[in-house]
A and B are shown apart, each in its own frame.
Chain A
Amino acid sequence: MAIRERMSGNEAIAFAMKQINPDVVAAFPITPSTEVPQYFSTFVADGVVDTEFVAVESEHSAMSACIGAEAAGGRAMTATSANGLALMWETLYIAAACRLPIVLACVNRTMSGPLNIHNDHSDAMGARDSGWIQLYSENNQEAYDNLLMAHRIGEHPDVLLPVMVCQDGFITSHAIENIELVEDDKVKAFVGEYKPDYYLLNRDNPIAVGPLDNFTHCFEHKRQQAEAMRNAKRVILEVSEEFAKLTGRKYGLFEEYKTDDAEVAVVVLNSTAGTAKYVVDHLRAQGKKVGLIKPRVYRPFPVDEIAQALSRFKAIAVMDKADSFNAAGGPLFTDVTSALFAKGVFGPKVINYIYGLGGRDVKADDIELVFNELLNIANTGKVNSVYNYLGVRE
């Protein structure tokens, strides 16, 4: 029996954190994630959570404190955006390498420079090689749900990796939408207790964490870490299935929207998928066979499943709200095309659109242009340009 509410994406995240009731939250404010520690601080001040809130003096210290807390044996969470995530960069790698299932809510905002507080994905994309599990969320509901599942995924003994739940800054973080919340006791039962086998506070078995690890053993540790990320895919699906039984809301590795008989498709993350779905419907009404794929799980990257799902299309546009500045295409484009190639899927033509950087609004018209181009490619078999910018003033 769900609770129907109206909340912004940030409020939903904070609410989920309240229900999870972690042992430690160490956070530093940065727009647009600031509201998360703010809401949470109110919960702490009102005594509705048991959490120790550590008002750290920087994001680097936020993640450092989370590492200390999680290694000590507590559940630690934090939230950040953009440069805050960047400031934690070295500690993200350390958290993953130490196999600490910290959970971070990333409210996506563009990396400086220049300074800009609006949404794009350059922050989380910059951390894509850090070893963190990355889940993307189209709206407040998905962000809330992903956060509830995060600990079950990260703390699974076959995984033991930190988890980042992403949503678009301002667009969904600050937009109040309908949401279905899960009851406190059900959340508690679903998320369960954190029972680490090794933890600093275990006086019966003291441990040492974070060695100088020379070439004798370092490579084996990394291989082990890689295996954990491989296991994550299966665990994510298992946890999502359990979540579906609890709430009725089904989550997979990605969402396929009207793809069954589609000739062309767009691959797009987060809130823009919402706009794109509207465009799909609009074009379908005109008889055009278009579809959309919205990845939810970006790390690990579901190579097999993505390649399989995309193989049926004649033309695909990967839309990236971040540029790699590799002079070739954005990060999602790189991952998608390499998956297709690795899996021997050579049929579809794939092009890339970099859009919305620095929070530039992406409109239905723009997305319609993309689909029309794709249909053109499907008909003529000709690609004009692979690496494109959408919505910039030429």
Chain B
Amino acid sequence: MSGIVAATVLASTVAAPSALAGGSNVIAVGVLLAEFGMFRQALLRDQVRLYAAQSALISVLAVVVAATRNLPDLYALAALSFALKTVIVPVVLRRMLRGIGAIGGDPRWNDIAGSHALSVAGAVLIAIAVAAFGFFTVAALGLSSPVLPATALSISAAVVLVSFVLMIVRRDVISQAIGLLSLENGVSLTALVVAAGLPLILEVAFLFDLLVAVVVFGLLIRVHHGRAESMSTAELTSLRG
């Protein structure tokens, strides 16, 4: 089954190698690679940077779609999403981390390499398997998009699933928060592929919601840090049964 699916996927990409399709697929793959890069990062600051880069790629893709498919709304969305996800959210996150001494200050909280529940290699292998599953499953559904190649949709499914793996294998609050934010990036990528025409007002509502969520995450991270004196979630085990 998956062989047939892979063949159809290959056939469809081989049949239409337009510059737009190729370019947008490259951007989508970049988003996925950034997601994988987050497994590798040992420093909080780098992880936030990677998130900013990933968000920037999505804004670029939005501009590409806006230009080629004549959807002027998407320019506004791209600008807004760039301002919010590449600038404001990383700045907020970094300011918060600095506030609790996680950047530049105490080395204990600067380094989150030890927060892996698995080895990096093991986590990446699992992520690859999960990404492949997402890629081929969504391809099998035969969804086609009016604005972007279906491959980008499959890649976005992979991004979503890999971000779940990231949240699962990391045991510190920042990585989990970043995992969630990058999950939202994966959803944005999906939205660009299959719902490029979604009314702007709704997109803005989603983005505003993201901002609120970031603030709440910040508050809760601070609460957690204040009580547990650490970023680790390993001690969050008192409630069970």
Are the chains A and B members of one assembly?
no
